[in-house]
């Protein structure tokens, strides 16, 4: 293991349930001792994001960079990149970060930025994934952890979890069952990815 800590920065826009699952796993499984990795910051583009208080309660510093304060997507992403880089991240984790990122930003973190998407990619990229799965008559839905690339929801798949689509499912009931699996899968996928960053 290298001496330098593998700092993890998590980006959120909302409730932060996947963020909380990651932080709890890192703390309970002692990632800092095992992997030399720790969550050093949670950053939100929304000042009122519920996940900010949740992160603080779990002992992780938070920062807010309101995208509404910037005149363009590019200027926001440049400021966000500068803020993230103050933490010297080994890994940037998107956990319900509801922004489409510019190619320059994505390229800067190539190979070290991870997202979780609520579908079994390559099916149903983009939004409204659960309703689209129901409408398409799918027998299964789920979630995918993947590396972020400049093509939306098309990066290398790191992990997937499937759940059955049940008769009478709504987008909300299906999303709730998928989210349970996300909370289990995302921390494990991040842990597995970090282990690959440790030199033999």
Out of 87, 108, 117, 146, the active site residue is: 117
d(CA 137, CA 113): 32
149: left (phi over 0), alpha (psi -120 to 50) or beta: beta
Is 183 a catalytic site residue?
no
Which run of H or E residues covers position 132? helix 129-135
Q: Tell me the backbone φ, ψ of residue 159, rounded to 5 degrees.
A: -165, 155
d(CA 132, CA 138): 9
d(CA 29, CA 35): 10
d(CA 148, CA 180): 22
Cis, peptide link before residue 87, omega less than 30° from 0: no
Residues annotated catalytic, as ranges:
117
């Amino acid at each position: 293991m290298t001496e330098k800590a593998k700092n993890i920065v998590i980006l959120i826009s909302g409730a932060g349930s996947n963020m909380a699952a990651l932080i709890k796993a890192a703390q309970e499984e002692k990632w800092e001792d095992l992997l030399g990795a720790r969550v050093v910051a949670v950053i939100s583009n929304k000042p009122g994001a519920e996940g900010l208080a949740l992160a603080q309660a779990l002992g992780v510093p938070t920062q807010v960079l309101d995208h509404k304060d910037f005149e363009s997507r590019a200027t926001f992403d440049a400021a966000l990149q500068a803020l993230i880089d103050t933490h010297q991240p080994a890994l940037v984790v998107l956990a319900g970060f509801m922004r489409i990122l510019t190619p320059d930003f994505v390229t800067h973190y190539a190979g070290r930025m991870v997202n979780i998407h609520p579908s079994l990619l390559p099916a149903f990229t983009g939004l409204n994934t659960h309703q689209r799965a129901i409408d398409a008559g799918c027998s299964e839905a789920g979630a995918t952890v993947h590396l972020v690339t400049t093509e939306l929801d098309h990066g290398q798949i790191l992990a997937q979890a499937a759940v059955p689509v049940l008769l009478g499912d709504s987008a909300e009931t299906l999303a709730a069952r998928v989210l349970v699996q996300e909370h289990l899968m995302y921390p494990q996928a991040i842990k597995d990815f970090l282990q690959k960053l440790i030199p033999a």
